[in-house]
Each structure stands twice: as C-alpha cells, then as structure tokens.
Chain A
Amino acid sequence: MTWITAAWYVVGAFGLIVFLSITVMVLTWIERKFLARIQQRMGPMRVGPHGTLQPIADVIKLITKEDILPSWADRPIYWIAPLAIFVPAIAIWVTIPFSESLVLQNLDLGLFYIVAISILSVLGLVMAGWGSANKYAMLGALRAVGQLISYEIPFIMAILGVAMLSQSLSLIDIVNDQSRIANIIVQPLGFFIFLVAGLAELGRTPFDIYHAESEVVGGPFVEYSGAHWAIIQLAEYVNTFAVAALIALMFLGGWSWPSMPFSGLAYNLLSLMWFLVKIYGVVLLIFWIRGTYPRLRIDQLMSFGWKVLVPVSFINIIFTGIVQFYNLHWSILTLLSLISIFVISYLIYKRPNASYKQNSIKIVPAKDATELPPENYGESNAR
C-alpha cells in the first residue's frame, strides 16, 4: 500500500463519517417535520427558520448531558456496546458507491460484505441489553435477536435475487446492469421483500418491537443517556440511510439516468444528485410508513417473517432462476413477480387457517336468566 492510497483511505473515511453525521442531522429534522405534517402539526419551528437548526441544538444538548452509569451495570460491556452498534453501521458504507468513481473501496463481494457486517450490530444490541442490568433492556435485546436473525434470511434472499439478475455481487456492476431497466420493474416481489425485511432489520415502526416505548420503554437503550445514546441514535439513522441507499442501488437503478446529456464532471455531479434524490425518496417512503402503521405484536412479526417472507423470498429466487436458466425475456419475471404478489396478498387477506369464531361471550336476556350457560361456555375457537 502506497502512501497515497493510505492517505485516500484516511481522508475518505473521515469524509464519510462527516457526511454521514450531517446526513443524520438532516434525517432527524426531515423525520420530525414529515411525521408532524402527517399528524397536522408543524414540527420544530423555533430554532432557525422552520426549525432547521433544531438538530444542532439537539446535538449540543445530547453532548452536554450527563452520562449516567447504572450501579449494577456490567461496565466494560455497557461502555463498549454503543461502539459495537456504531462501527458496523459505518463500516457498511465503505463499499456503498455514491457514483461510479466516488467510492471508498469497491469490493467484488460488496453485497456479501454488507450482509456480513450488518448482522454484527445484533451483537451490540445484546451487549447493550445485558450490560444495562435492566429487565426492559434485556427483554428488548432478546427481542432484537429474535427479530433481526429471523428477518436476515429474507433480507439476504432478496439481495441474492438481485445478484442473480446481474451476475455480480459488486454494487457498481449491479447499477450498471440496471442502466436500461431498473430492477424494481423486473423484480417487484424482490423489492417488496427487501423493503419489508429492511424495515425489520432497522427496527423502524411497523417492526419497532425491540425498542417499543410502550412495552419495553426503549429496549436495549433504556439506561443510556448523553453522548452514548447519541452514538446509538446516530447508528440507527446511518443504518436507515444505508438501507435506503441499498434499495436505491439494487432496485431503483442507483445513479443511472434514463438518458444523460452530459459527460465528465457534470455527469458525475448530476448522477450523484440523482442518486441522493432516489435515496431521499426511499427515506421519505420509510418515514411515511412509520407515520401510518401501528406496531406489530411479536408473534405477528415472527409468523409474518417465517410463514410469509421466507417462503416468498425462496419463490422469488426460484422464479429468477427459471427465467435466467431458460434465457427468458425479463417481462416474464415481472409478470411472475406481480402474480405472486397478488396471490400472496390474497392468501394473507383470506387467512384460510385462521378462525375468527369466538363464542367466549353469550348474551342471555334477563328474563331468561334461569337458563344455564352451555357446556362449552367461555371456550374459544380462536387460535
């Protein structure tokens, strides 16, 4: 390694962290504003014009806040846990390209690396839960393990489908492969699986079971405050941005335009802008979903993951494999994907195994009160 490449890595990593920190501040502002508008509120309005300086005020507040250590905490684990969450979140970004030439280090096995690193953050959550010596934190950590590991399978399978389409695990190759047709058109089922599994991996709202405020009062992060909490929060938003970037790269065609009239520097700048626009569009979609849906129960989450998403992700791969093997036209895969989406939606809607019959309550008129309740009174046919 020459000095120049070493310097590039140092500068690039530093620039990446600065860029991501600023992005996270922007994201927190956008999320608060967006959720506020969904609820017909105004969101932050006081600090700066339309509250644009609110994130800076938040950062100052978090940094100057007292960092509290619970007396029963497992000290080394408690202090290392935020780093164990934060480092993988940043490390993912090493191989995510912003444009064809703007990437810290493109890897041929980029997607493999991302999957391998992203699962590491579970370790950080478990450490935070254990180190806090708090029952809510421990419960949250256990929930996080169950949720993240079960949703990792459809997550990886959706990535695999995209990798099969472009015959590569390098993100730049995947984007270049989509220069004509974006993968969301070829593989809508894969997009759906990746979006849902990605939301579950992030622990964002329909799947925010492991830090549910109303159940486990913030999950593994209950005891954290001040700068350590800020780092955990930073990692969460970086992860959100990473999933949005992955969706933009793998399904929306990354920085590729329909037709690009420019070349050279103008091309690079415009493609970077276009890529950021796509990422922010996905981020807004994620926030929109957060503003709409209530939280799932843990058993609903597990049954949705194992009974729906895992089989569906295998179906997706089988369809992709058939189309690839017989060299069929891509529109056949689109058709198959759409049909399977509709069939699956219909099956979920009908729920053939579920029974809604509940005879646990029987209303008896007062004048007939001498009649005794039936033998099976109070039993339920519901699952």
Chain B
Amino acid sequence: MLGSIKGLKTTLSTMIRKPVTAEYPIPEKRLDIDKRFMGFPALLWDYSNDEPYCTGCMVCIRECPTLCMSATMSDNERFSEGKSTRKKIIESFEINLSRCIVCGICVDVCNFDAIEMSHEHELSKLKRNLNRVNLETLIDMGKQFQKKIGWKPLQIRNIGDPNLREHLKLKAKAEMAKISMKDGETKDHISNANDNLSSREGNSPQ
C-alpha cells in the first residue's frame, strides 16, 4: 500500500525532470559529434599552398578492402613553376561511400596526410548510386572537417609551400639542437627524437 504511493511519487519526480531526448535530424537540436569520431574518408586541403595534399599515389586505393575508391594522377604544373613541392597532383578521385566500411586503412597507409576520416556519416539517399562522391565533394568534406576540429599537418615534409617547409625544417633542427645541448649524454634519445619528427606521433611543428 505504501509502495504504491511511493511509485506515484517516483513517476511524479521523473515527470518534472527534463526529457533526455535529442531530436536527431533537426540541425540545432542534435548532439555534437565527438572529435575522435570516424566518419567517411575525406581529402584534406593544404591551405599553405592552395592545393590538396593528395598526389594520387594510389596507396589507399590498393589497400582498400572493399575496392570502393578510384583515382587518377596528373603532373603538377605548379611544381615546374617552383611554387609547390608536389611533382604530381590528384586529378580525379571517386569514393563510393555506400561501399566504404569506415575501416580507416586508407588513413593509416597514406604517406602525405592527404586523407582523413571526417565527421560525415549520414548517407540516406533515394537511389543506390547516389553516394558516389567525386573530388570536389571529398575536398569540401575535408575542408569542413579541418575547420571543425582545427586540423594541422603532422609532418613537415608534407607541407606544399617550399619556403614554409624550409623554414619549419630549420626551426625543428634548432629545437633538436637545443635538446642535445641540454642532454648531451643520451645520444640515442636524440636520434630517436629526430625520427619522431617525421612520424605521426610527433608534435605539430606549425
């Protein structure tokens, strides 16, 4: 008997609380996506040099387990003009997002920081083939993603602007020298640090 009154009290207290529902498709009411979220792959844009990072090396295409990508490569005219460090540049790129299984292998194998798992994850389309995205869309997705999480390049050697690249290299070398001055005895560490500079775990030099 007392329990039934307690039950009414419990429901009354939950009634007063705010609902926990997020009304999903409404843009301003949906929940934020985590920064670490892995959506579909997107091509990143090199803002220092106004061209994509991707050179069309086809590594991701060869490694893709579902064969959902295809690309073509062309000579980069800006390299011959001395404005870029990339000899080759991507000409066309297509991903069939309906086929993509969001495994992230393309990101792991890319040598140029050119592809990244973006936050794009909604694919409802009226037809089966409408999820094929071309280079423009991929770069748009990448730009949105870069803007959203404040993306910065991880490796100095991937920076397209030749002057900036040389500058950053010198700066990094100077930092290394500082460390070796401080800690001269452990030379192994220094050589390790030099290796780390060009690895993904290293601090962003920019």
Q: A residues within 8 Å of B by Cβ?
A: 34, 36-42, 45, 288-289, 291-293, 345-346, 348-349
B contact residues around A45 at 8 Å (CB): 23
A345: B residues at CB distance < 8 A: 1
Q: Which residues of B contact A349 (CB under 8 A)?
A: 1-2
- Whether B14 is near chain A, meaning CB under 8 Å from some CB there, is yes
Flag whether B186 is at the interface (Cβ < 8 A). no
Are B1 and A292 in contact, with the CB atoms below 8 A? Answer: no
- Contact between chains at B19 and A36 (CB < 8 Å): yes
Q: Contacts A288-B8, A348-B1 given: A40-B17 contact, CB under 8 Å?
A: yes
Q: State whether the Cβ of B129 lies closer than 8 Å to any Cβ in chain A.
A: no
Interface centre among A34, A39, A292, A348 (most CB of B within 10 A): A292
Q: A40-B17, A292-B4, A293-B4 are in contact. List 19 more A-B contacts (CB 8 A).
A: A36-B19, A37-B14, A38-B14, A39-B14, A40-B18, A40-B19, A40-B20, A40-B21, A41-B19, A41-B21, A42-B21, A42-B23, A45-B23, A288-B8, A292-B7, A292-B8, A292-B10, A292-B11, A349-B2
Chain A interface secondary structure, helix, strand, loop or mixed? helix
List B residues 73-109 near A (Cβ within 8 Å).
none
Roughly how many angstroms separate A345 CA and B5 CA in the complex, as a whole number?
Answer: 12
- A/B interface sample: 19 pairs, CB < 8 A: A36-B19, A37-B14, A38-B15, A40-B17, A40-B20, A41-B19, A41-B21, A42-B23, A45-B23, A288-B12, A289-B8, A291-B11, A292-B8, A292-B10, A292-B11, A346-B1, A348-B1, A349-B1, A349-B2
In chain B, positions 1-57 with a C-beta closer than 8 Å to chain A are: 1-2, 4, 7-8, 10-12, 14-15, 17-21, 23
Q: Which residues of B contact A (CB under 8 A)?
A: 1-2, 4, 7-8, 10-12, 14-15, 17-21, 23
Cα distance A289–B1 when bound, in Å? 14
Shortest Cβ gap from B9 to chain A (Å)? 9
Q: Select which of A37, A288, A293, A348 is within 8 A of B19 by beta carbon.
A: A37
User: B19 — which chain A residues lie within 8 A by C-beta?
Assistant: 36-37, 40-42
Q: How far is the CA of A57 from the CA of B20 in the complex (A)?
A: 25
For the complex, give the distance between the alpha carbons of A23 and B14 in Å.
27
**Cβ–Cβ < 8 Å partners of B1 in chain A:** 345-346, 348-349
> A38, A346, A349: which has the most chain B beta carbons within 10 Å?
A38
Report the separation of the CA atoms of residues A293 and B12 in the bound assembly, to the nearest whole angstrom.
13
User: Are the C-beta atoms of B23 and A37 separated by less than 8 Å?
Assistant: no
**Separation of A266 and B8 alpha carbons in the complex (Å):** 37
In the complex, chain B residues whose CB is within 8 Å of the CB of A34: 15
| B1, B2, B20, most chain A CB atoms within 10 A | B1
Q: A37: which B residues are within 8 A, CB to CB?
A: 14-15, 19
Contacting pair A38 B11 (CB below 8 A): yes
B21 to chain A, nearest CB (A): 5
**A residues within 8 A CB of B8?**
288-289, 292
CA distance A291 to B2 in the complex (A): 17
Can you list the 6 inter-chain pairs with the closest CB atoms, starting with the nearest?
A345-B1, A292-B11, A42-B21, A42-B19, A292-B7, A349-B1
Please indicate the chain B residues that have their CB under 8 angstroms from the CB of A39 in the complex: 14
Residue of B nearest to A345 (CB): B1
Determine the distance from Cα of A345 to Cα of B3 in the docked complex, in whole angstroms.
Answer: 11
Report the minimum CB–CB distance from B50 to chain A (whole Å). Answer: 44
Which A residues touch B7, using CB under 8 A?
292-293
CB-nearest residue of chain A to B2 = A349
A227 to B17, CA, bound (A): 37
Instruction: Report the minimum CB–CB distance from A348 to chain B (whole Å).
Output: 6
CB nearest neighbor in B for A45: B23
**B31 CB to nearest A CB, Å:** 14
Docked Cα-Cα span, A40 to B15, in Å, equals 7
A41 to B21, CA, bound (A): 6
Bound: A269/B7 CA distance, A: 37
**What is the distance, in angstroms, from B82's C-beta to the closest C-beta of chain A?**
58
Q: Given the complex, which residues of B lie within 8 Å of A38, measured CB to CB? A: 11, 14-15
In whole angstroms, how far apart are the Cα atoms of A42 and B19 in the complex? 6
Please indicate the chain A residues that have their CB under 8 angstroms from the CB of B10 in the complex.
Answer: 292
- A45–B29 CA distance with the chains assembled, in angstroms: 13
Contacts of B14 in A (CB 8 A): 37-40
A118 smallest CB distance to B (angstroms): 26
Tell me, in angstroms, the Cα distance from A291 to B15 when the chains sit together. 10
Query: Which chain B residues border A42 with CB–CB below 8 Å?
Result: 19, 21, 23
Distance in angstroms from A380 CB to nearest chain B CB is: 24
> Bound complex: CA of A292 vs CA of B23, how far in Å?
25
In the bound complex, CA of A292 to CA of B10 (Å): 8
Q: Give CA–CA (A37, B13) in the complex, Å.
A: 10
Cβ–Cβ contact A288 & B21, under 8 A: no
Closest A residue to B29 using CB positions = A45
Q: Which residue on chain B has the smallest CB distance to residue A294?
A: B7
Given the complex, which residues of B lie within 8 Å of A293, measured CB to CB? 4, 7
Q: How far apart are the CA atoms of A39 and B17 in the complex, in Å?
A: 10
- Shortest distance from the beta carbon of A199 to any chain B beta carbon, whole Å: 13
CA of A45 to CA of B19, assembled, Å: 12
Point out the residues of chain B lying under 8 angstroms from A288, CB to CB: 8, 11-12, 15
Bound: A40/B13 CA distance, A: 10
CB A151 to nearest CB in B, in angstroms, measures 18
In the complex, residue of chain A having the shortest beta-carbon distance to the beta carbon of B23: A45
| Minimum C-beta distance from A41 to chain B (A) | 6
**Residues in A neighbouring B21, C-beta threshold 8 A:** 40-42
In the bound complex, residues from chain A placing their C-beta under 8 Å from that of B11 are: 38, 288, 291-292
